[in-house]
Amino acid sequence: MQVILHTGVHATDDDRLLKGLLRNADDFRADGVAVPGPGRYRRLLSEAINSLGPQGPTEQARDVLLDAILSTDPDAVDRLVLSHENLFSVPKLVFGGGRFYRHAEARIAAMQQLFRGDRIVLFLGLRNPATFIPAVFHQTPDDRLADFLNGVDPLHLRWSHLIRRLRAAHPTLPITLWSNEDTPLIWGQLLRDMAGVAPDRKISGAFDLLQDIMSPEGMHRFRAYLKDHPDISERQKRRVMVAFLDKFAIQDAIEEELDLPGWDAAYVDRLTEIYEEDMQDIGDIPDVTLITP
């Protein structure tokens, strides 16, 4: 069995990716793909990981977990899709110990123990630290940004460091990444790739995020264009999305206000430049799939 593990990061899709998968769960089931509701496994997985001792899980642990997570016969499932943004850390501990998601490698190792014999596949959306840090900070009880950052300098923050740590600790772990800023353009591919279905498979909600940032008139014209051009490729479709967004984007939906003290426009621009360079570096990490528009 493949266990598809989507672990956020925090403040990216706000569970909309899971909701999109659940919307198509009945159709996916015929292909041996199970998309259980989060209430069946999130707390269960966290508790199972936290209770692991040096001796590891019992031989029955996997079967017990699958019985609790699945509502169907586990033998009929080839691909289990799980989404849990707090698996690596709760928001307030993202920079715990002065290290970015410091338990990420250990949590993957724990999942591999719990699902021994299965193939863990990691899916992870990344976000510009210029917006990621304020968004996650506002999810925590901390009053001071310095307390939340725990000594981490945002200018030194690199997602590639986390990915290289994961690759070093788990050389054979398949990792699929994307930039959260690109999600409206690649939303359909994310849903299909996580479910493991064909790239041209018809699914519900493939343009849900695009609809959030495009005017109703623009969406109407975009759908009409697709109807008139049913054979265009996914790559061509994304170019069409960009063209329509240039004309019909809802500006308030694509612009974010940052209100952290000391973060002026120049500082935010510098963080963004670093992030864009970092994403290019991530694309060069061996055996990492980076989904781009």
**Among 285, 281, 289, 276, residue whose Cα is nearest residue 130:** 276
In a domain, 283, yes or no: yes
Q: Rounded to whole angstroms, how far apart are CA atoms 69 and 82?
A: 10
Counting the structural domains of the chain, the total is 1
Listed as own residue / partner, the contacts of 14-22 with beta carbons closer than 8 Å and 24 or more positions apart are 15/83, 15/85, 16/208, 16/209, 17/83, 17/125, 17/190, 17/191, 17/194, 18/83, 20/187, 20/191, 20/204, 20/205, 20/208, 21/81, 21/83, 21/191, 21/194, 21/195
In CATH, what number is assigned to the domain containing residue 168?
A: 3.40.50
In a domain, 108, yes or no: yes
In a domain, 177, yes or no: yes
Strand partners, 177: 124, 290
In a domain, 223, yes or no: no
Statement: residue 219 has pLDDT above 90: yes
How would residue 276 be classed by pLDDT, with cut points 50, 70 and 90?
Answer: very high
The predicted structure's pLDDT at residue 254: 67
3-state helix, strand, coil in the chain (%, to 5): 55, 10, 35
- Average pLDDT of the segment spanning 89-98: 95
For the chain, the C-alpha Rg in angstroms (whole number) is 20
Statement: residue 130 has pLDDT above 80: yes
Look up the domain containing 285 and give its range: 2-199+273-291
List the strands of the sheet with 33-34, edge to edge: 33-34, 79-83, 2-6, 119-126, 175-179, 288-291
In a domain, 261, yes or no: no
8-32 tens-digit pLDDT: 999 999 999 999 999 999 999 999 9
The predicted structure's pLDDT at residue 56: 87
- pTM score > 0.75 for this model? yes
